[in-house]
Amino acid sequence: MTISLPIAGNIFCIVGGASLVGSATAAHFLEQGAAEVRVFDNFVFGGEAALSHIKDHPRLRVVRGDVMRLPDLLAAQRGAHGVLQLAALMTLNMDRDSWTGMDVNIRGVQNSLEAARHNQVGKFVFASSNAVYGYGPGIRGELVEGTPFHSAGAPPAAILYGATKIIGEQLCRAAFQKHGQDYVVLRYSTVYGERQHYRAANALYIIETYDAVRAGRAPQIVGDGSETKHFVYVGDLARANAAAFEAAATDVAVNTSGPAPITTLELVRLVTEIAGGGPAPEFIGETPGKVRLTSGGAFDIVHDRAGAALGWRPQVEMREGLTRLIRWLEEDRARNAP
Amino acid sequence: MTISLPIAGNIFCIVGGASLVGSATAAHFLEQGAAEVRVFDNFVFGGEAALSHIKDHPRLRVVRGDVMRLPDLLAAQRGAHGVLQLAALMTLNMDRDSWTGMDVNIRGVQNSLEAARHNQVGKFVFASSNAVYGYGPGIRGELVEGTPFHSAGAPPAAILYGATKIIGEQLCRAAFQKHGQDYVVLRYSTVYGERQHYRAANALYIIETYDAVRAGRAPQIVGDGSETKHFVYVGDLARANAAAFEAAATDVAVNTSGPAPITTLELVRLVTEIAGGGPAPEFIGETPGKVRLTSGGAFDIVHDRAGAALGWRPQVEMREGLTRLIRWLEEDRARNAP
């Protein structure tokens, strides 16, 4: 069994690859000399646009398929040395359609693990989430890999999402224990960066804030703005994915969060500053019935174990990452302007 | 919408009814004057024997069907006023076949909720578990309904089982929030009693201990015997199921545990005493690779909320419940002796 799997010279299949993280990771793996990068996606949520920066690369292969169809995965993973499992419905979509959410987030992982086993894939990297620590006021202090799952006071969709990620991790562990499938679990914190999609509630907040400020409207903050968010820049996650394959590590789950947490108020001020200034934020109450994902707590997602196990640490501070995101946003809108 | 649903005069469908809890509940509901009790089961784990005490009852209807087939559930729940959702793979079977475990414990609940919605079932009672508090040394002290899910140090199958129960509960909550489906979640602790099956690891331990003592062998205790177990007698759960339908309660999850927790050593001593005496226990180490479900902790599953919300409290002490179980065991073996 392969435990350390170099990116250079090997073939990777990124399941759910036409996504924010998937497209950045595909580009990074190609730069690092991967023999081939296969982007597997059903293009329901993922879009061609996410791959525009690499679509003509000679070592990129785009494979249309669906994680619910095992034959699609068997074919796509054939001859692959590593599989990165990203495909998932996040909380907002889980709220709309928990049926599909269970399919993609659980059966999709089972199918992918079965395909990997059949194809003797050397290493499987599973994109989990800090959602495995749950939501609500119980989330406080340092979140380390042994922190339990809090759910009291959280909306159903958020709990469902977190629970599917707990299950995905354990399906990997069971595959390791039963069939020796090497794997690494990365618990992504909230991702942001260029080619940001409009589906993730917390990351979308950055764009909403920017748009408000640019239009001369006051950005809205629910509550007093003291809530913690802990983002991670997409390029740092692309490096984390590479490290998960390359490190001599298996059967481990690690947090991959950005350099430091930020409060909502600090985030809004930073976005406003990068936007060149604008109105002061407006503090508002909860919108009944709207799914919110923030905790109300003050926490710090500790990524020390990722350093120890994978030699990874985040490099991009929020000021730099937000500047890159906003630059891309403006360029993208200019390109797509009528 | 019906919130308080009397047992007398109404029709109930027990999904996964050919089981320890299902058969006791069917008998109880028939005694309480239910107009009809439908026992829905695929008879893969459940057996005809579980229903032997009621099989000729004129108001009992046995329906063969599978929770993975929505049409089966649509037909079985037609005209039912209440649905009790029991069907599930427990941890030992989850370890053998997590694929079926995800199907039954998640898609099975989704199918049953969809059937209930289509048939305008007044109230849905979901059998959850104290497994939603997890496993491992993190489980200590009083376990109340807001206690988070601990999983560090637990085997994959135990975490998978607990996570599917968390998901089942949230699927009920989502059905309540989106379609007004009234529901009650009961978090059963470890069930034991007459017609005990041989699938649940903790309850099976009682029978193994009894058999060892009766054969003059020393009963085995893993560790020092100080580990907590918290059982509940099956007849108390049958009453809890009735109370969940009858109480004016909805959108609530409550613990349904026995009168008090017990340590492994106390349990072994009690079983030995009921057996008429026998060898002292032997303390052994862990068996590598064997799935164990006990926590290593000292805990008490508090059922006060069940008292407040449903007017339920357990009545049968372990000495009495164990005496009944062992009497049934001897009678059952005498009946089935060649």
Give the CATH number of the domain where residue B95 resides: 3.40.50.720
Q: Which residue of B has its CA nearest to A160?
A: B167
Q: Which residue of B has its CA nearest to A161?
A: B167
Residue A157 lies in a domain: yes
State the residue range of the domain holding B133: 11-192+231-258+300-316
Q: Are B152 and A146 a contacting pair at CB < 8 A? A: yes
How far is the C-alpha of A304 from the C-alpha of A310, rounded, in Å?
10
Query: What is the tens place of the pLDDT at every residue in A85-132?
Result: 999 999 989 999 999 999 999 999 999 999 999 999 999 999 999 999
Residue A174 lies in a domain: yes
3-state SS, chain A, equals CCCCCCCCCCEEEEECCCCHHHHHHHHHHHHCCCCEEEEEECCCCCCHHHHCCCCCCCCEEEEECCCCCHHHHHHHCCCCCEEEECCCCCHHHHHHCHHHHHHHHHHHHHHHHHHHHHCCCCEEEEEEEHHHHECCCCCCEEECCCCCEECCCCCHHHHHHHHHHHHHHHHHHHHHHHHCCEEEEEEECEEECCCCCCCCHHHHHHHHHHHHHHCCCCCEEECCCCCEECEEEHHHHHHHHHHHHHCCCCCEEEEECCCCCEEHHHHHHHHHHHCCCCCCCEEECCCCCCCCCCCCCCEEECCHHHHHHHCCCCCCCHHHHHHHHHHHHHHHHHHHCC
Name beta bridge partners: A209: none
Q: Is A141 on the interface with B (CB under 8 A)?
A: no
Residue B119 lies in a domain: yes
A·B CB contacts under 8 A? 82
Mutate to test the interface with B, among A98, A104, A145, A179 (most CBs of B within 10 A): A98
Q: Which of B107, B149, B174 sits opposite A156 (nearest CB)?
A: B174
Residue A145 lies in a domain: yes
Q: Which residue of B has its CA nearest to A113?
A: B99
Q: Which of B138, B146, B151 sits opposite A166 (nearest CB)?
A: B151
pLDDT band at residue A295 under the 50/70/90 scheme: low
Chain B environment of A174 (Cβ under 8 Å): 95, 98, 156-157, 160
Residue A221 lies in a domain: no
Give residue A137's pLDDT. Answer: 76
Our CA-based measurement puts residue B183 at a distance from the nearest CA of chain A, in whole angstroms, of 14
Residue B54 lies in a domain: yes
Q: Is B291 on the interface with A (CB under 8 A)?
A: no
A43 to each of A49, A50, A194, how far by Cα in Å?
A: 10, 10, 19
Residue A44 lies in a domain: yes
Q: Are A163 and B166 a contacting pair at CB < 8 A? A: yes
Our CA-based measurement puts residue A208 at a distance from the nearest CA of chain B, in whole angstroms, of 27
Tell me the ipTM for this assembly.
0.93
Mutate to test the interface with B, among A92, A95, A106, A252 (most CBs of B within 10 A): A106
Average pLDDT taken over every residue of chain A: 93
Q: Is A287 on the interface with B (CB under 8 A)?
A: no
For B57-90, b where at least 16 C-beta lie within 10 A, e where not — what string? eeebebbebbbeebebbbebbeebbbbbbbbbbb
Our CA-based measurement puts residue B270 at a distance from the nearest CA of chain A, in whole angstroms, of 34
Q: Are B156 and A164 a contacting pair at CB < 8 A? A: no
Q: Which of B150, B157, B163 sits opposite A163 (nearest CB)?
A: B163
Spell out the per-residue pLDDT of chain B, length 338, in tens: 458 999 999 999 999 999 999 999 999 999 999 999 999 999 988 778 889 899 999 999 999 999 999 999 999 999 999 999 999 999 989 999 999 999 999 999 999 999 999 999 999 999 999 999 998 777 889 999 999 999 998 999 999 999 999 999 999 999 999 999 999 999 999 999 998 876 666 677 899 999 999 999 999 998 889 888 899 999 999 999 999 999 999 999 999 999 999 999 999 999 999 999 999 999 988 766 555 555 556 899 999 999 999 999 999 999 999 999 999 999 988 988 87
Query: What is the tens place of the pLDDT at every residue in A225-273?
Result: 988 889 999 999 999 999 999 999 999 999 999 999 999 999 999 999 9
pLDDT band at residue A288 under the 50/70/90 scheme: low
Our CA-based measurement puts residue B168 at a distance from the nearest CA of chain A, in whole angstroms, of 9
pLDDT higher than threshold 50 for residue A34: yes
Residue B70 lies in a domain: yes
pLDDT higher than threshold 80 for residue A194: yes
Mutate to test the interface with A, among B92, B95, B98 (most CBs of A within 10 A): B98
Query: What is the tens place of the pLDDT at every residue in A178-187?
Result: 999 999 999 9
Q: Which residue of B has its CA nearest to A172?
A: B156
Q: Are A102 and B98 a contacting pair at CB < 8 A? A: no
Entry pTM: 0.95
Token reading at A102: 């269970």
pLDDT band at residue A177 under the 50/70/90 scheme: very high
Nearest to A2 by CA among A88, A91, A165, A125: A125
Q: Which residue of A has its CA nearest to B139?
A: A148
Q: Are B156 and A145 a contacting pair at CB < 8 A? A: no
Q: Which of residues 84-113 of A touch B (CB under 8 A)?
A: 95, 98-99, 102, 106-107, 110
Chain A environment of B157 (Cβ under 8 Å): 174
Q: Are B170 and A156 a contacting pair at CB < 8 A? A: yes
Q: Are A171 and B98 a contacting pair at CB < 8 A? A: yes
pLDDT band at residue A1 under the 50/70/90 scheme: very low
Q: Is A151 on the interface with B (CB under 8 A)?
A: yes
Number of domains in chain A: 1
Q: Which of B98, B107, B166 sits opposite A102 (nearest CB)?
A: B107
- Residue range A10-20: mean pLDDT, rounded: 96
Chain B environment of A171 (Cβ under 8 Å): 98, 156, 160
Nearest to A5 by CA among A243, A169, A176: A243
Q: Are B149 and A152 a contacting pair at CB < 8 A? A: no
Q: Are B170 and A163 a contacting pair at CB < 8 A? A: yes
Our CA-based measurement puts residue B24 at a distance from the nearest CA of chain A, in whole angstroms, of 31
Q: Are B156 and A166 a contacting pair at CB < 8 A? A: no
Q: Are A159 and B170 a contacting pair at CB < 8 A? A: yes
Q: Which residue of B has its CA nearest to A98?
A: B171
